[in-house]
Structure formats: C-alpha cells, structure tokens
Amino acid sequence: MISVYLLRQRIINFTLVGFLLATGLIMIGFSVYILISDANKELPVERFNALLTDECTNHFRDLGFTGARSISSRNEVHIFENTLDGGLYSLAKLSLGMRACEGFALKSFCAGESCSNNGVSMILERK
C-alpha cells in the first residue's frame, strides 16, 4: 500500500510536470509565432525621415532657437533667429545643433544684416 506521503509527492510531481509541460508548449507556440510573423518589418522611409527631421528640430529648440521648424516633405530643417545677439555664442549653439543632427548636411547658411531675416538663418537637408 502507498503511504500518504508518497501519494502527496506523486500529486505534487504530476502537477509540477503538467505546469512545466504547459509552459513549454506555450513558449514553443510564441516562438513559432515570432518566426512566422513579420517581426522585422521596417519603418517606412518617409516616416523615418519625418521622425529624424522632427528630432533635429527639437534639438535646435532645446538650444533656444525658437525659429526652428521642420519641413518633412522635403526632409529639411530651417533654423532662423531675427537677432545677432550673442555672436559667437549663437554660432557655437548652431554647431552643437548640427552635431546632434547626424545624417543632415548644411544646405545654406547666412548670418548678418545681408540675410533676409536680418539675423541668422540655416537650412539643413537630410542626406
């Protein structure tokens, strides 16, 4: 005759084996789902470029350029300030902003009274 202790031990063992087996089957099911599904779906290029231009624009806004705006359709970032206050400090902030915007090239730059806005303007374009 089986003792009460052995009977309880068998119940615990069968319960544990059942739980581990069910967990293993669930994990195999998720693995198959991940392999079959299109998990490596890439972000559309237009949306990716729009995110990058918005991020670049936000870097310039964080640096204090209130006239920073992004034009997603052309993948450009326009930065402008109407004053020349700060001089070299403004140029240093512009170069810091360009450093934060990897993948962008300088399209145009103007500083001084001969510019259209009588200050500093710069256009960065996505490479």
Residue 95 and residue 79 in one domain: yes
User: How many structural domains comprise the chain?
Assistant: 2
Residue 17 and residue 72 in one domain: no
Distance separating alpha carbons of residues 94 and 119, to the nearest angstrom: 13
Tens of pLDDT, residues 27-48: 999 999 888 877 566 667 777 8
Distance separating alpha carbons of residues 41 and 106, to the nearest angstrom: 31
Tens of pLDDT, residues 67-100: 777 766 678 888 888 777 767 888 888 888 888 8
Residue 2: per-residue pLDDT? 73
Handedness of CA 97, 55, 39, 27 (dihedral sign): positive
Query: Where among 26, 41, 56 does a domain terminate?
Result: 41
pTM of this prediction exceeds 0.85: no
Query: Where among 10, 25, 41 does a domain terminate?
Result: 41
Cβ-based neighbours of 56, under 8 Å, separated by 6 or more: 70, 77, 97, 100, 101, 104, 124
Residue 55 and residue 97 in one domain: yes
Residue 81 and residue 32 in one domain: no
Whether the CB-CB separation of 49 and 72 falls below 8 Å is answered with yes
The parent domain of residue 54 ranges over 45-126
Residue 115: per-residue pLDDT? 77
The mean pLDDT of the chain is 84
The torsion angles phi and psi of 101, rounded to 5 degrees, stand at: -100, 75
Residue 30 and residue 66 in one domain: no
Residue 75 and residue 120 in one domain: yes
Residue 112 and residue 76 in one domain: yes
